[in-house]
Amino acid sequence: MINNERIDHLERLLEVVRGLTTAPDIEAFLQTVITEASEMTDSELASILEYDETAEELRFLAMQWFQRDMLRPLGVPLEGSAAGWVFKRGQPLIIQDAKADQRHFKVIDRVTRHETHSLAAVPLIVRGEVIGVLETLNKKDNAHYTEEDLTILATLGALAAQAMQNVYLQRKVKIASIELAELERLKTDFIAVTSHELRTPLGLILGHATFLRELIGGEYTEQLDTIIRNATRLKEIVENLSNVDNIQSGAAQVRSHKISLAKIAEDTILSFQDEAASRNITLKLESSGEPFFVEADGVKISIALSNLVKNAIQFTDQGGHVTVRVGEDSGYLKVSVSDDGIGIPVRDLPRVFERFFQVETHLTRRHNGMGLGLSVAKAMIELHGGRIWAESKEGKGSTFTFLLPTSQSHPSSPSKIGPFIE
């Protein structure tokens, strides 16, 4: 008989375990827990209380339906209550005579007009932290609660605690998602406003500085060159901000026509040759001599490649090498920019294409920029249905590669060709 009862208990507990993943919501699952708790311990009532950090007391989370309106508004103090005793000590408790025990919180009896004779309670524990209490009241036929009853309650309590923790984590994830969405909106607004407001004054600074340099001549050439150089750097930042804003707002359009990737690579190298030479960096193109024609937006492809080359030069020490290669790979046109510079730490490699991400912190980094160039390059390539990725060894250099489909018939996401970073 005893064995049959234990088998029945095990089967019922297994059913509750299944309910942990199949119950429609937390309330339905906790109702199942307290129903099984009262039936399996042969008790009149059962309830689950959770800790309210703000009020520093326990609140009823699950109870019999006919007690909900009475118990939901009530708080159970940690001092002077059996549930509080269990919560504070993290230990189970049996009270066989509630009338004679000062730990029984008799206010609940007066509110519900129900007399408590005996009770059993266990803590709800998640990762060593007590988050609530499961208790049963009045074992039937004036019987005494036993250690076996506590074992049943402890098992059910562990399941209830896990369900409560799952809901808590889901809430935290939802709050975090809302906060991230708000941060993303603020970031987007910042990009739009900044790129718009800086464009006109920067154009005026560059225009007047260039005019003054031609007008005044030798005496102030160095100072005016400094103004022009730094204003040009700001202009590049604004253009990157504007590109990001256009992509995010959906305003970016791909105006495709037949272009030569080899010609774009040659022009890009020519435009950065002086900067590379000033740092004693060898910048060269490796190609078969073919034009490598493709239907694409030449301006956007040029922006992407320019940002990759600029990035390579920026993170290559004097005397280093930057090589641009143009070729074909399995029906896709392939462009790569390799350097033998400082490389990228493994922990940072997955994030290099994120907006505003910089490998070096603002306190230690030696290189200029806002961390937009690579994100812009990625966006420009992906607008064409291409794929871009990075490979690097810290201290050895990096290679950034992108693929472009040679025709519209190719898939828009050539994920099977080469490694890539999302």
Query: How much is the pLDDT for 368?
Result: 53
* Degrees, nearest 5: CA angle 373-375-381: 105
Integer Cα distance of 49 and 46 in angstroms: 10
Q: Which residues, other chains included, contact 283 with Cβ-Cβ below 8 Å and sequence gap of 6+?
A: 269, 272, 273, 276, 277, 309, 313, 321, 322, 323, 324
For residue range 9-43, what is the model confidence (pLDDT) as tens digits?
766 766 676 666 665 578 888 998 999 999 999 99
Q: Which of 186, 309, 191 is CA-nearest to residue 245? A: 191
Q: How confident is the model over 244-255, as pLDDT tens digits?
A: 666 655 555 677
What is the per-residue pLDDT for 365? Answer: 45
Q: Tell the CATH superfamily of the 257-405 domain.
A: Histidine kinase-like ATPase, C-terminal domain (3.30.565.10)
**pLDDT given for residue 222 in this prediction:** 80
Order of strands across the sheet that contains 397-405:
282-287, 321-329, 332-339, 397-405, 387-393
Helix (H, G, I), strand (E, B) or coil at 115: coil
Residue 63 has pLDDT above 80, yes or no: yes
Token couple for 301: 């492809």
The reported pLDDT for the residue numbered 316 is 92
Q: What are the domain boundaries of the chain?
A: 2-175, 187-249, 257-405
Assess whether the region 2-175 and the region 257-405 belong to the same CATH fold: no
Average pLDDT along the chain: 83
pLDDT for 2: 53
CA distances to 5, 7, 138 from 2, rounded to whole Å, are 5, 9, 22
Is 139's pLDDT higher than 90?
Answer: yes
Q: Where are the beta strands (DSSP E) in 140-281?
A: 257-260
Average pLDDT over residues 207-221: 79
For residue range 277-287, list pLDDT tens digits in order: 999 999 999 98
Query: Taking phi first (over 0 means left), then psi (-120 to 50 degrees means alpha), and beta for anything else, what does residue 320 get?
Result: beta
Task: Label residue 76 by pLDDT band (50, 70, 90).
Answer: very high
**2-175: CATH homologous superfamily?**
GAF domain (3.30.450.40)
CA atoms of 100 and 104, how far apart (whole Å): 9
Residue whose entry in the numeric block shows the structure tokens 């002086």: 274
The phi, psi pair for 106, rounded to 5°, reads: -75, -10
pLDDT of residue 49 exceeding 90:
yes
Per-residue pLDDT of 307-339, as tens digits, reads 899 999 989 999 999 999 999 888 889 999 999
368: tokens are: 């200029």
d(CA 57, CA 208): 70
Sign for the CA dihedral angle at 303, 304, 309, 313 comes to positive
Model confidence over 171-211: pLDDT tens digits?
889 888 888 888 877 877 776 777 677 777 878 888 888 88
Q: According to the model, what pLDDT value does residue 60 have?
A: 94
Contacts by residues 24-32 (CB-CB < 8 Å, ≥ 24 positions apart): 26/163, 26/164, 26/166, 26/167, 27/62, 29/160, 29/163, 30/61, 30/62, 30/160, 30/163, 30/164, 31/62
